[in-house]
Every structure is written in C-alpha cells, then in structure tokens.
C-alpha cells in the first residue's frame, strides 16, 4: 500500500500539501493544528486535565469540541477528561467572543464541561463544517448548547452539504467546450456555419440512426453509465497513451503529412454507420420486431417491391458471393406468401436479409433496408443458433457479414466482419459443413443437398480469406479444411466461380499460412512457385467466369494475394535487382487493382457497382500506397519488367492513373472519417510525387520532395 505523506487535513480536502513540519502552510493559514505537529498531544497528555484549556485558548481559530446527541452518556465521566466519544465534533468559535486575557475562553470552558480534547485540530470526514480554502470558516453559535436536541440542530445547520450535478451533455463537444447554445443537430448549426461540420460529434451516438444503438467507443462514465467513477478510454486513447504530445509533434513536423490525421482520434465516423458496429448482437433497434405480427406487416408493406429487391440482390451481390440456392429459395418464397406463419424464424431471418440487401443496392441508402436487417436480427436471436444451427442460420449469418461490409463505409466494418466471421466459421463446423459425410447418411442422401453444402462452405472460406487479408489477421481456417471434398466437383456455368474457388483456395490458404508463420517464413523459390500457380488461376478464371463482376472480384482477390506474398521482397532496398519478379509483380498487381477501382466507381454505370467494391476498399488503398512507394524509388528499366512477363506502362501514365483514382477518393471522403483520412494521405503523396494537377498544401512539401 502506498505511503501517505500529506497531512490529514490536506488529504481530506484533496489539496496539495507542501509537507512543511511541524505545520504545513495550509493548516497555518486555516488556523488549525496540523497532523504533523505531534508534540502538542504528547505535552497535553503529560499535563493532565489542564492541557485542554491552554491548548484551546492559544488556538487562533477558536476550536471547541461539542458532543452530538449520543455523546453525553456515562462513558464521559469527570474522572477521565481526556476521553473522546466517536460522535464528537469540532465547532468553530468566533474569536471576537472570547474572554479577556487571563480568563478562561468560552471554548475552553465548553471543552472542560464536556471533557473533550481538541487533538490535531482535525474534523470528522463525514460531518464537515470547515471550508477547504484558508480563512473561510463556518462559525457556530457563540452560546453553549443546552441539551442534546439543540446540539443536533446546530450541527445540521453548520454542516456544509456539497452536491454534484449529474446531467447528460446534450450539446456537441465543440459547443460544450465554447459554452455556446447548440441546436443538437448533426452537424449543428454553429459547427456548420464555422466550417467545422465534419468535426461536429457528440459524446453519445446521435447519428442518423436516431440513437437506436449506442456508441461503441463512448466512455463508460458518460450518459450510458453515469455512476462509473473511472470511465474507460476509447481504443485510440489506449493505443497512444504511452506516447507524449511532444513525441508526436516532433515526428509529424518533419513531414507535410501533418494534417492528414486531424479528426481521426474521435468517434465521429460512428455517425456514418448505417448498421451498428455490433450488429447482429444486441441492437436496441431490433427489439420492436420480436413480435411475429410486426415482421409480417413490415414485409407486407413492401410486397410490391419484393421481386425488384430479389433481382437486385441476385444481379449485384449473390453473383460475387454465392450464398443462396436460387431455385429452392424462390419456391420457399412462394410458400411464405401462402402462409407467412408457417416458415421458421431461421428462414425468415435469411429472407429479411436478402430483402434488406436488395433494397440497399438502390443506391439511396433507404431506411427500410436497415429495418429489414433489424427484423432479421430479432428473428435470429430467438433461435438456438449457438448450439443447434441450421443451414438457414448459416446463410443468414453469411448475409450479415456481407451487409456489414457494404453498408458501413468505414475501415471499422472490416474489423467487425472479422469478428463475426469467427462466429460463422464455428457454426459451420458445428453443422458439419467442412466434413463430407458418408453416402449412407440419411441427411445427405440427396446429391442436390450435398452440392448446396459444398458451395456454401466455399463461399464462407472465400469471405474469411478476403477479410483476413484486409485486416492483416490470420485466417480462421486451414488448407486441410478443403481436404474433405474427396471427389472433384464437375461445376460449370453458372457455378464457374465455385470451381475457381475450389481450385484456388487451397493455394491461397497455404500462402497465408506461410506468411503468418514465424518459424518457417516463406522463401523466394516458394514465392516463384506460388506466383506461377496463381497467375494460371487468374487466366483460368478470366476464361470460365461469364459474369463481368465475377471476373473483376476474383481478379482483385488473386492479385491481392500476390501483393501480400511479394511485399517483403518487392519493397527490399535492392528489389529490382535481387528479386525482379517480386518487384515488377507487385507494381503490376497494384496498377491492375487501380484499373478495377476506376471500373467499379464509374459514374456512368446504371447500377451502383461501388457497393460491390466496398469490401475491397482497403485492398485498393493498399495498392495505391504500394504504387506510390514504387514511384518514389529510382526508375528501373522497363525492359526488365518485360523480361519477367509484366506489362508496366510508362511513368507518366502511372501518375495520371494515380491522379484519377485520388479524384475518386475525393468524392467519397464525405462518407466517413476513415475515407477522408485516406484521401488526405493520398493527396499529400501526390504532392510529393509532383503528379499533374497536384498542388502543395504546405511550404514544406517542396523541401520534403
């Protein structure tokens, strides 16, 4: 236990003590005896009953000890004048009412009558009548108490009661700091008029969801938990707590990138969440859909648009992440319209997620899409999915992972998806999807059911690997998980994507396992061997995949894997000469991802294809940074690139491609703080690269270049 060095009075009032002995400065100014002065009580004990009178007479503050209602009893006998009762307290006397010199003071007379001794001039911590500031005393009545009732009344009148307000801060943090009136909008009028609309945020989540779900990074001592004494720090505060402000100022002052991180250390990006970060677990907005009739009315209100929602989902989302068996699903939808109460909650959750995703692909972010997803959460939470999942449960959670990636335009969406993927993979193991059962199993005698389970497991592995590469976390599955598929499936169009995944996922899982291994890191000969296999798969996928979105997304996936594999060798100081294949492959794959980025974000397309590209935003951002790193290095001869089989355009064309991609980021920066920060980083890099159209934002930019 830590030693207490301050005096008792300063410790009680939580004031800084200068530790001067025998009496600290604050006790001297207040006119009370300091607990450091231990000689006074010793002398008082040796002098007997005469000590209390002399001590209190010389006390400039004029202290007298008065008993409470329970202190006048037989225990305070005249034979023991130094006895103190637990209920006794000190009352301040007015020094102007003291007796003349040579006579006993009123304080001493009262002390002698009641047998109390003022030891150390301390006060009771529970009944405080003294002010912590010096020369501010609360005086009691000068006449002595007549009986115990009057003593109690005088103690209650002289006691100072301190009350603290516990009110929620409803204003935005900027208006609260400036102490001005806030209209409580998002952004509020004052922040909008002053040009600080992007930095307007609240201590609780007041985003467009209307407070339906709490802010994940709000301190626990805020409006949600006002009784908490130690509020929890937000994740960014914990991460950077060990660094002082001078460290970051000195570090950022060396680069023109100093302004790119403004506003990142806030939870303002949470206002851009269409879905809560913890979806589908514990969302308050889902509680209103726990009644089955409420869900039936919700679907019936959109019955005329159901076919349109299904068509949009199939054309844009299911084509790149095959989850449903469309023939079976449409038959189940027809049975639902015949009797809405006959279907189970697991299938109903799957149906609601399909409607929500199809509605969300309209491009306008309609609120009804989020309501569908809230209803799906309410359905799935009423099922025993933790220990008895069904195939519909697995599909519903897979659709929820897709929804988290496309509905929330922020990098936190991928972190949240990685956590949900862990739950989904374990549910798939409980259901037995990775294992291929015997032909005599009664549950899987139907070959159609076998194929459905195989395809769904491949899609889950596909999502798991994509999320792992984005977040930098290890995948939750191993290459052996595909070993259960003993027989080579004979899939053709429209199942060509599953065939490519069946051939390519074991290779990708082997690469990621070696990249994450500390004992046996991947060697350069293995990199060349895997490089040949992945490029062969890229060519095969381009030939067999009929849908353009399938070709784009599978090409992004395989090229991203190549970038991860080549990165340690491509960014080596002597990469162009020692590891030419890795150097040029890294640059070529980065440029290919930028071309796909421009293709998906083309404003002339009739469909909002940017929703398909949202799960790959971090991959595209990484490709942009990798291209910038290559461009900042000394130019290597392009003839060597041609020798390795990589077609690299001239430097000027690469710069123009980078500028066009940064312009796309400029249009997306208003969607979240994460994307705005990425745009500022890329804009600063364009200044360093002296790209066409880039203008320096600070005078240090030219010096840095």
Which tens digits make up the pLDDT trace of 334-389? 999 999 999 999 999 999 999 999 999 987 768 899 999 999 999 999 999 999 99
Three-state secondary structure string covering 170-228: CCCHHHHHHCCCCCCCCCCHHHHHCCCHHHCCCCCCCCCCCCCCCCCCCCCCCCCCCCC
Report the pLDDT value the prediction gives residue 631, as an integer from 0 to 100: 85
Tokens standing for residue 161: 């009661």
Is residue 653 over pLDDT 60? yes
Under a CB-based contact definition with an 8 Å cutoff, are residues 661 and 622 in contact? Answer: no
Under a CB-based contact definition with an 8 Å cutoff, are residues 27 and 63 in contact? Answer: no
Is residue 39 over pLDDT 50? yes
CB atoms within 10 A of CB 598: 14
Which of the four pLDDT bands, split at 50, 70 and 90, describes residue 701?
very low
Tokens standing for residue 583: 């150097």
Q: Which long-range contacts (CB under 8 A, 24 or more apart) does 189-195 make?
A: none
**Average per-residue pLDDT in the chain?**
74
What is the enclosing helix (H) or strand (E) of 591? Answer: helix 580-600
Is residue 628 over pLDDT 70? yes
Q: Identify the sign of the CA torsion 13, 19, 21, 26.
A: negative
Nearest to 90 by CA among 158, 146, 13: 158
187 prior amide bond cis, ω within 30? yes
* Coil, strand or helix at 451: helix
Which of the four pLDDT bands, split at 50, 70 and 90, describes residue 260?
low
Tokens standing for residue 703: 């010096």
Measured CA to CA, the distance from residue 581 to residue 566 in angstroms comes to 9
Measured CA to CA, the distance from residue 298 to residue 460 in angstroms comes to 29
The 8-class DSSP code of residue 652 comes to H
Q: pTM (2 decimals)?
A: 0.63
Angular region, 232: left φ>0, alpha ψ -120 to 50, beta rest: beta
Under a CB-based contact definition with an 8 Å cutoff, are residues 223 and 204 in contact? Answer: yes
Which of the four pLDDT bands, split at 50, 70 and 90, describes residue 196?
confident
Is residue 599 over pLDDT 80? yes
107 prior amide bond cis, ω within 30? no
Report the pLDDT value the prediction gives residue 247, as an integer from 0 to 100: 65
Q: Which of 97-106, 438-447, 605-614 is predicted most confidently? A: 605-614
């Amino acid at each position: 236990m830590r030693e207490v060095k301050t005096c008792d009075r300063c410790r009680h009032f939580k004031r800084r003590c200068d530790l001067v002995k025998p009496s600290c400065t604050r006790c001297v100014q207040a006119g009370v005896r300091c607990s450091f002065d231990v000689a006074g009580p010793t002398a008082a004990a040796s002098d007997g009953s005469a000590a209390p009178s002399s001590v209190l007479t010389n006390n400039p503050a004029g202290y007298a000890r008065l008993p409470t209602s329970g202190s006048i009893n037989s225990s305070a006998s005249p034979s023991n004048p130094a006895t103190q009762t637990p209920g006794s307290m000190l009352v301040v006397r007015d020094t102007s009412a003291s007796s003349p010199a040579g006579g006993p003071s009123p304080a001493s007379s009262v002390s002698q009558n009641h047998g109390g001794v003022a030891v150390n001039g301390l006060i009771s911590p529970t009944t405080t009548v003294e002010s912590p500031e010096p020369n501010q005393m609360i005086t009691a009545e000068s006449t002595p108490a007549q009986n115990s009732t009057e003593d109690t009344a005088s103690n209650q009148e002289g006691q100072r009661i301190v009350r603290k307000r516990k009110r929620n801060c409803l204003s935005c943090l900027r208006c609260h700091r400036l102490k001005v009136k806030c209209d409580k909008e998002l952004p509020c009028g004052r922040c909008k008029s002053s040009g600080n609309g992007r930095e307007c945020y609240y201590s609780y989540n007041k985003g467009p969801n209307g407070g339906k779900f709490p802010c994940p990074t709000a301190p626990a001592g805020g409006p949600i938990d006002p009784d908490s004494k130690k509020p929890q720090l937000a994740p960014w505060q914990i991460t950077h707590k060990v660094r002082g402000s001078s460290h970051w100022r000195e570090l950022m002052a060396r680069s023109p990138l100093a302004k790119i991180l403004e506003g990142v250390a806030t939870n303002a990006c949470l206002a851009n969440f269409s879905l809560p970060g913890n979806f589908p677990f514990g969302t308050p907005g889902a509680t209103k859909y726990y009644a089955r009739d409420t869900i039936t009315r919700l679907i019936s209100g959109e019955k005329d648009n159901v076919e349109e929602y299904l068509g949009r989902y199939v054309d844009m989302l299911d084509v790149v992440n095959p989850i449903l068996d469309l023939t079976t699903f449409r038959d189940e939808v027809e049975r639902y319209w015949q009797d809405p109460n006959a279907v189970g909650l697991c299938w109903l959750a799957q149906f609601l997620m399909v409607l929500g995703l199809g509605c969300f692909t309209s491009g306008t972010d309609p609120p009804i899409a989020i309501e569908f997803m809230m209803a799906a959460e309410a359905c799935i939470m009423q099922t025993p999915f933790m220990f008895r999942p069904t195939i519909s449960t697995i599909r519903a959670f897979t659709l929820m992972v897709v929804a988290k990636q496309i509905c929330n335009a922020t990098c936190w969406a991928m972190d949240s998806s990685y956590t949900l993927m862990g739950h989904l993979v374990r549910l798939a193991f409980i259901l037995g999807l990775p294992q291929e059962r015997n032909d005599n199993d009664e549950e899987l005698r139907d070959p159609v059911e076998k194929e459905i389970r195989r395809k769904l497991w491949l899609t889950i592995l596909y999502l798991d690997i994509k999320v792992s590469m984005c977040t930098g976390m290890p995948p939750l599955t191993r290459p052996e998980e595909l070993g259960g598929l003993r027989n080579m499936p004979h899939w053709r169009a429209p199942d060509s994507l599953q065939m490519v995944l069946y051939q390519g996922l074991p290779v990708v899982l082997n690469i990621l396992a070696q990249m994450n291994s500390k004992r046996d890191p991947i060697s350069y000969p293995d990199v060349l061997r895997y490089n040949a296999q992945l490029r062969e798969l890229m060519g095969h996928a381009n030939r067999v995949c009929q849908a353009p979105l399938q070709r784009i997304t599978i090409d992004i996936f395989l090229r991203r894997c190549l970038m991860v594999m080549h990165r340690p060798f491509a960014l080596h100081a002597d990469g162009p000469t020692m590891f030419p294949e890795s150097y040029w492959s890294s640059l070529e794959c980065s440029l290919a991802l930028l071309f796909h980025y421009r293709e998906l974000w083309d404003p002339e397309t009739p469909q909002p294809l940017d929703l398909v590209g949202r799960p790959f935003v971090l991959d595209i951002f990484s490709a942009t940074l990798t291209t910038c790193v290559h461009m900042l290095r000394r130019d290597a001869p392009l003839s060597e690139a041609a020798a390795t089989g990589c077609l690299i355009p001239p430097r000027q064309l690469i710069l123009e491609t980078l500028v066009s991609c940064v312009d796309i980021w400029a249009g997306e920066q208003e969607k979240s703080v994460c994307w705005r920060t990425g745009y500022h980083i890329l804009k600063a890099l364009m200044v360093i690269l002296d790209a066409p159209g880039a203008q320096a934002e600070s005078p240090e930019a030219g010096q840095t270049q």
